[in-house]
Chains A and B, each alone.
Chain A
Amino acid sequence: MAITLRDVVKRYSDRDGTQIAAVDGLTLEVPAGMCLGLLGPNGAGKSTTMRLLTAQSRADEGTIRVLGHDIPSEAKQARALMGVVPQTDNLDEELTVRQNLEVFARLYRVPRAGLREAVDRALEIAQLTGRAEARAVNLSGGMRRRLLVARGLVHSPRLVLLDEPTVGLDPQVRADLWGLIAGLRADGVTVLMSTHYIEEAERLADACALMSHGRVIANGTPAELIAEHAGDRVEEHEGPPDRLAEIEGLARRAGLPTRRTGPTVSVLRAERIPPSLGEALTNGHRVVRRAANLEDVFVVLTGETVE
């Protein structure tokens, strides 16, 4: 296992002294070579989990191991072996693109002889070779994020932590970064990527862990999760509120999970709807039929929505 977290608890005390558990009994394993998507809404505890793995946060309970090293006692050793891409942009704005990478190449102990090569490779990954001498402060949002990712890869780590790598980016930039992450995965790098975008997890992750209120509530490949919790097909019904309530009632009595999305109600496991019930549900109205997705799973399990 590249990463093992067992029964980990991290509490913070609020200003008024009440304690909240940002991570609350988290157990998670990431096998070597896998891209694991940690999927959960804002506040689920994803960033705290990432900080626990670098020992920038210290757990109150539980055990953590990264690449064979106990955290936090051997954290420095573990940090040397992994690359970290934080959620908040913390590039050195006063330095140039190249200098940002050079400083981190040194911090990661890249040998002097290979330093230039490592920096050039990272520039290529970030597609910033032509902007190497530009100051970070003058880069666009997408370029900054690519540089932030490349900075975490400058020492060619075998394990990479990506905390919401595409949050707040426009679709084109997001697609660029997805390509970059897919490349890491193809190279056999172990990736732990947190996200609150369903699509990101479905596209990039070999397996997903759904996280809610500081713990993992389900995990498996996206296909497994969908099959287990949402079935194969989904029927979306539109209509006025009382009709939606009626549909919910009918579906529940037949043992089928449902979810509300604004003006529609979705019936999950629609492949199990018997023909008689199908007619009662439709009742001459329009129905949209689609494949079940991870979002359905999330809503069924938590009642919360993610994008």
Chain B
Amino acid sequence: MSDTRLRRFEWAPVRGVWRRELALFGRYWTSTSFASIVEPTIYLLAFGFGFGSLVGHVAGYRYVDFVGTGVVASAALFTSVFPGMFNTYIRRTYQHSYDAVLAAPVDVHEVVAGEASWIAVKSGLFSCTPVLVALAFGLRPGPGVLVVPVFTTVTAAGFALFGIWASTVVPSINSFDYVISGVLTPLFLVAGTFFPVGGLPGWARMAAQVNPLYHCVELVRHAVFGFRPLADLGHLGALVLFAALMWALAVRGMRRRLID
């Protein structure tokens, strides 16, 4: 091969990961699409009609609209953090895929970039399906809805990287239970998805501020119903900061596990 200088960050490894994932995606896209449409439909039926008939309006929104926009964020959480945790754990410890890749001209941070970017884009797009479903339930979004995929992708990048980092911390695959029950469930519940954070006690409102998912929920709602520029810049900044921090932790964790 030619002896041209390789840069510290190269796109070829990222493309390599995408090549693999696209090949697999050609096989499982139907089940992914099915889940991403059916799940929010069930949420909207259950909460929108069940709960919505009790509460009607929440924080100035129809309850169906409130939930329909809220579950976009939870979809972005779950469709990114689970692949981040499980896929990378399995590929590292059982399949030794990264050992193979790192014997080629590929560095750990490029592997992480490849895995996380694929998960982020896939999750970012698929987590928008609740908005489409909500349209059928009468949601009437503003033009801002078009940038929702940007917000979900940034959120998904952060949580994919969080998952990758978690996969380097857990001693065994069963230990993910601690992460799921101890971290993800609270994040999911205290994010303003199903009920407004404003009604919670002070400490919980404080906690929501450091919950990336809360910032995603707010951004998505504002995108659909009207931006609040200053607040939304803050929310976006929080999501970017979260992703940056998780990037540093994920790369460090993977390096520790893959290079001895």
Contacts and interface: CB of A to CB of B under 8 A. Distances in A.
Interface of A: 12, 51, 54-58, 76-77, 79-81, 84, 86, 88, 90-96, 99, 102-104, 106-110, 151-152, 155-157
B3 A103 contact: no
A148 B234 CA distance: 50
Interface of B: 1-3, 5-6, 12-13, 15-16, 19-20, 23-24, 95-97, 99-107, 258-260
B105 A77 contact: yes
Contact of B260 (A54, A58, A103): A58
A56 B16 contact: no
A82 B105 CA distance: 9
Contacts of A151: 100
Contact of B6 (A80, A90, A106): A80
A95 B20 CA distance: 8
A81 B95 contact: no
Given A77-B6, A107-B105, A107-B106, 15 more contacts: A56-B102, A56-B258, A56-B259, A79-B105, A79-B106, A80-B105, A84-B104, A86-B103, A88-B99, A90-B96, A92-B97, A96-B23, A104-B16, A155-B1, A156-B1
Which of B3, B20, B96, B104 has the most C-beta atoms of chain A within 10 angstroms of its own C-beta?
B104
A106 B100 contact: no
A79 B260 contact: no
A106 B102 contact: no
Contacts, number: 92
Nearest to A55: B259
A109 B15 CA distance: 11
Contacts of B3: 77, 80-81
A106 B15 contact: yes
Given A95-B20, A102-B19, A103-B16, A84 B6 contact: no
A-B interface, 7 closest residue pairs, ranked by CB to CB distance from nearest: A90-B96, A84-B103, A80-B105, A90-B100, A107-B104, A79-B105, A107-B16
Contact of B95 (A90, A109, A157): A90
A79 B20 contact: no
8 contacts: A56-B102, A56-B260, A92-B97, A94-B24, A95-B24, A102-B19, A104-B104, A108-B104
Contacts of A77: 3, 5-6, 105
Contacts of B13: 107
A56 B12 contact: no
B100 to A, nearest CB: 4
B260 A57 contact: yes
A95 B106 CA distance: 20
Contacts of B107: 76
Contact of B99 (A90, A99, A104, A109): A90
Nearest to A54: B103
B16 A109 contact: no
Contacts of B2: 109
A106 B105 contact: no
Contacts of B99: 56, 86, 88, 90
Contact of A106 (B16, B24, B96): B16
Contacts of B23: 95-96, 99
B15 A80 contact: no
A57 B1 contact: no
Contacts of B258: 56
Given A95-B23, A106-B15, A107-B13, A54 B102 contact: yes
A242 B106 CA distance: 60
Contacts of A76: 6, 105-107
A306 B132 CA distance: 66
Contacts of B15: 106
